[in-house]
Chain A
Amino acid sequence: MEAGSAIRPASSEDVSRPPFDVDRVRADFPILQRKVRGKPLVYLDNAATSQKPQSVIDAVSGFYAGENANIHRGVHYLSERATAAYDQVREKVTRFINARSSREVVFTKGTTEGINLVAQSYARTHLKPGDDILITVMEHHSNIVPWQLVCEQTGANLRAVPITDDGELDLEAFEQMLSERTKLVALVHLSNALGTINPIKQLVALAHARGIPVLVDGAQAAPHLVVDVKDLDCDFYVFSGHKVFGPTGVGVLYGRESLLESMPPYQGGGDMIATVSIQRSTWAPLPAKFEAGTPMIAQVMGLGAAIDYVSEVGLSDVASWEHRLLSYATERVLEIGGVRLIGTARAKASVLGFVMEGVHPHDIGTILDDQGVAIRAGHHCAQPVMERFQVAATARASFAFYNTIQEADALVAGLTTVKKMFA
C-alpha cells in the first residue's frame, strides 16, 4: 500500500466475492447489530473511532469483574497477575509494530498524549531559537498544536510542507524544506481528512540522510496498514487504542531506545522513579520513566485483546477488502453528480471525503443520520486542509473492515435523498 496503489473502480464481479468473510467478522461486533432511528446502523465514522469486538469488551469488563488490582506495587495474588498481564500486552504491542524491545513501547492515553510527550520531553529539551520543526499541511490539529507550544517555549519555527491538489505530499518541497535548521520532522502516516497514505519509509530516509529524527502520527494508519517501525525506520510512532478496535483512554508511543534514554520524564509521580528524596529523585528505567501514576490498566487489557483480534483477522487481507470497499463507494458517490472529492491521492485508504454542490456537509450528516448512516461532517480537526481546498467543511465517510458493499449502497441512497431535498 505504500505507493502506486491507485483507486481502481471495482467491477461488480469483484465486490460479490469478498476475500474474507465480512459477515463472520460483523458478528463479533455487538453494536453493528443495533438499529439507529429505526434503521440498521451503518457506521461509517471509523476515522473518528472504531467499534469494539466482543473480545475487547470482555477483556475490559472481565478485568474489572475478576482481576482488578493495581500493578507494580502489590505482593498479593491479584496484583501480581495484573502486573504480568499488563506487561504481556506491552510484549504484544512490541511484536505488533515490530519494535526491537518492549523498552521502546510506552503506554499513553492516546495519540495526542504521545505527540505531546515527544514535544515536551524531546523537542523542548533539544531545540534552540532559529531551529525548525517540519510538519505538513495535512496534519491533524494534534500534530500541529503541540509543536506550536514547543516553538513558543524554545524560539523554534514551525514550517509545513505543502500538498498537491490531489492531497498528496509535495515530495520535492519536502526535500527542499529539510535544512540544517530542521531538528525534527513530524508527519502523518494516513491522513484523517484526505485518506492519503504518505510514503513514510522514503520520507524517513530523506530526513535521516540529514540526521533529522522523524515522528509518525499513526492514529489512522494502525487500523488499516501493517505497521513495522523497524522497516519504516522512524524514530517515534504514535497511535490510539480506540481507533484500532480497542478502548478509549489508551495509546502507544514507540520511541527509539537511544532517544527515549536521552529524554527527561514527561510527568512525575509514582511508578516512574527509582529513588525519591525531598531534594531529588532518580528515574526508573524505560519505559516506566514515561508512565507516571497508575496507568489505564483495564484499557491496556482491552488493547491487548484488540491486537489479538486484529492480528487474527489479518491486516493485509483487511487492506485489500477495504481498498475494494473504498473504490466501490467512491465510484458510486461520484455517479450521483455534483460531488467533489476532497483527497484523490494515488495511495489512499478508508477515507471518502467530499463536498456536494449547494449542500452544507452538516445538512448531509443530519439527513444521512435519519437513515441510520453515521458519517462525520466538519473540518475533521484539520483546518489547514480545509483552507488548502478552500472549503469550510467536508462530509467524510470512513470505512473499516467490517463495512459492507450494502452499507456503501446505503450511503449512496442517503446522498441521493440529500440531492433531491436540496435540488
Chain B
Amino acid sequence: MASLSGLYQDLILDHNRAPQNYRQMVDANRRADGTNPLCGDRLTVWLKVEDDTIKDVTFQGAGCAISKASASLMTAAVKGRTRTEAEALFERFRRLVTGDLPDSEAGTLGKLAVFSGLSEFPVRVKCASLSWHALKAALNEPDAVVSTE
C-alpha cells in the first residue's frame, strides 16, 4: 500500500520550504521552461555550461512540494557534472521514480534516493520529473520549452 510518509519525507519537505539554487541566473548560457499543463505548474531552469560541464544551475517556478524539492535536489546533484553524466543520472532517477530501478542501484543516486516512495504514486511522477525534463532540454537546446504532456 502506498505510504504517505514514504513520499513526504523530511528531506523533501525541507527542500520545499527552502529550495537550493532558487534564483534566476543572469549569466546563464542555457535555459528551458518546463510546464505541466494538467496542473498549471511551471518552472524555469538556467544553466551555465562550459566545456560540456554544468558549471552552475538554478531554477525558479511554481509547483507542488514534490516538484520543488525535486528541482532543488536536482540542481545540487548535477552541478559540476558533464552533460553525459547528468543525462545518465536523469535516466537512473526516472527508473527510480517509476519503480524500475533495483534496490542495489538506488545507492548510486545519493540524496535523490529520497524519491523512491514516489513509485507508489504514479500520478505524481510527472511532478518530480518536470525539472529534469527542463534540464535535459536546456542541455540539448539553448532555449527550450518542454511539457510533461
CB-based contact B39/A422 at 8 Å? no
Interface of B is mostly: mixed
B74 contacts partner chain A, Cβ-Cβ < 8 Å: no
Specify the chain A residue showing the minimal Cβ separation from B61: A392
Closest-CB distance, B115 to chain A (whole angstroms): 14
Q: Which of A358, A393, A422 contacts B40 (CB 8 A)?
A: A393
B101 to chain A: which residues have CB within 8 Å? none
Contact with B along A71-113 (1 / 0, CB 8 A): 0000000000000000000000000000000000000000000
Q: How big is chain B's contact interface, by range?
A: 20 to 34
A360 contacts partner chain B, Cβ-Cβ < 8 Å: yes
CB-based contact B8/A383 at 8 Å? no
B127 contacts partner chain A, Cβ-Cβ < 8 Å: yes
Give complex CA distance A38, B2 in Å: 11
CB-based contact B64/A363 at 8 Å? yes
Specify the chain B residue showing the minimal Cβ separation from A422: B13
B41 contacts partner chain A, Cβ-Cβ < 8 Å: yes
A37 to chain B: which residues have CB within 8 Å? 1-2
Tally A residues with Cβ within 8 Å of B: 20
Closest-CB distance, B30 to chain A (whole angstroms): 25
CB-based contact B4/A362 at 8 Å? no
CB-based contact B40/A378 at 8 Å? yes
Closest-CB distance, A365 to chain B (whole angstroms): 9
CB-based contact B124/A392 at 8 Å? no
Q: How many A-B residue pairs have CB under 8 A?
A: 52
Most buried by B among A38, A362, A386: A362
Known contacts: A383-B40, A392-B40. The answer to whether A360 contacts B4 by CB under 8 A is no
CB-based contact B39/A363 at 8 Å? no
- 8 A Cβ contacts from B1-53 to A: 1-2, 4, 7-8, 13, 16-17, 38-42
A229 contacts partner chain B, Cβ-Cβ < 8 Å: no
CB-based contact A392/B121 at 8 Å? no
CB-based contact A360/B38 at 8 Å? no
B66 contacts partner chain A, Cβ-Cβ < 8 Å: yes
CB-based contact A366/B7 at 8 Å? yes
A379 contacts partner chain B, Cβ-Cβ < 8 Å: yes
Closest-CB distance, A408 to chain B (whole angstroms): 22
The 4 A-B pairs of least Cβ separation, nearest first, read A360-B64, A362-B64, A370-B4, A392-B40
Chain A residues within 8 Å of B, Cβ to Cβ:
37-38, 358-363, 366-367, 370, 377-379, 383, 386, 392-393, 421-422
Return 8 A-B CB contacts under 8 Å, by A number.
A360-B63, A362-B127, A366-B124, A377-B39, A378-B40, A392-B40, A393-B40, A422-B17
